[in-house]
Amino acid sequence: MIHFAESRARALAAASVVVAGCGGGTVDREPLAAPLRPVVEEAPKAPSAKNALASRPELSAELAAPSTAAWLQGAGGPGARRVRVTLTNTSERPAKVADLRVSFHTRRDGVSFVCAPHVGGAVKVTEPPELAPGQSFAYERDIDCTMPALGRYDVAVAARFGEGEEGHDDAIGTFTFEVTGAAPWAPRAFPNRPALQVALIGENETKALSPGAWKHGDHHVSLLFANVGAQPLALGAARVVLSITSKGAPFSCARDALTTKLDARSIAPGTSQTVPLPVRCPLDAKGDFELSARLALVDAPDKADKADKPDKPDKSVKGDTTDGPEVGRLRLHVRGEDEPPLPVNQLPVP
């Protein structure tokens, strides 16, 4: 089984961040280009100002953060999202800095998105228990927040030492973070449901499988549902139909084998859900394919969901809409048995 977590890990590992300096309580940085491929960027620039922590005045903090990153199908979100927090001991005595916890608070159009606190940095990095007078140390943390949709996110960063009631969150700074991308390879609003963003996600490469493994659905892509609205989003039962092309021509697959039925679901504000879609089609041993997904909401949403209007036919969708509008595409390279994995910069990413 091809797991989405593995795909996300590979995509994130391939992406790196360009960060720039900050001043006052907000980050002042140059705008960055937003490539659609994960790339290795330059080293961070030095921040221009320092801010004393409210509960630890002997420590000053400077924040370096990215301004933009491309949305990656393999990650289900932006790939480059690491910040650097540099602490400096400005006193004349050693300052204890063990157990630094960095937290993030992220909002998009006024809606909060879920974030997880960071207790420590990378395993290979040893963080000091204390700083000598005048000593500095740069801590790196990933913005571990749900960012499933394109657009601008406002991010606030805070630091805490220790746990429980003794700990106190000190504001470090804020910055804006733009997630970029383009349909049909990135999330987009579902017709007549502006709070519902949908995207097709998964790996862009897989090894060749046996005909039986393909038929069994050992490889799958996933459909991402995101609620970018301020109210819970109720969805009725739905149906997803995949179609596959190769070299610009339809690839013959039984429609039933590429159809997945979904139960009704509710999505909380600022959260997302993923649903696996088995690719039960015997693809060639080696080749390049393009998958397309259509989503049909076959049942009306729950009446309690007053924030969204019931689905109506979308006249802007051209062609056969029996299976609903197209909600995403994904390019997939199937490598031969003796073929090594493609380098990141050669993956079939649009």
Residue 337 is encoded by which pair of tokens? 């048995």
3-state secondary structure (DSSP) of residue 144: coil
- Which residues, given as ranges, of the chain have pLDDT below 70? 1-49, 80, 117-124, 163-167, 299-321, 344-347, 350
Start-to-end Cα distance in the chain: 25
Look at residue 298 in the predicted model and tell me its pLDDT: 79
pTM: 0.78
Q: In this predicted model, what pLDDT tens digit does every residue of 7-46 receive, in sequence order? A: 444 454 444 333 333 333 444 333 333 333 333 333 333 3
Using the structure block, give the residue that is written with the tokens 């997302």. Answer: 272
Q: In this predicted model, what pLDDT tens digit does every residue of 139-194 receive, in sequence order? A: 999 888 989 999 999 999 999 887 655 667 899 999 999 999 998 999 999 999 99
Q: How far apart are CA 78 and CA 38, in angstroms?
A: 10
Look at residue 346 in the predicted model and tell me its pLDDT: 64
Look at residue 98 in the predicted model and tell me its pLDDT: 86
Strands 68-72 and 59-64: unpaired
- Sort residue 203 into left (φ over 0), alpha (ψ -120 to 50) or beta: beta
What are the DSSP calls for 108-122, one per residue?
Answer: ETTEEE-B--B----
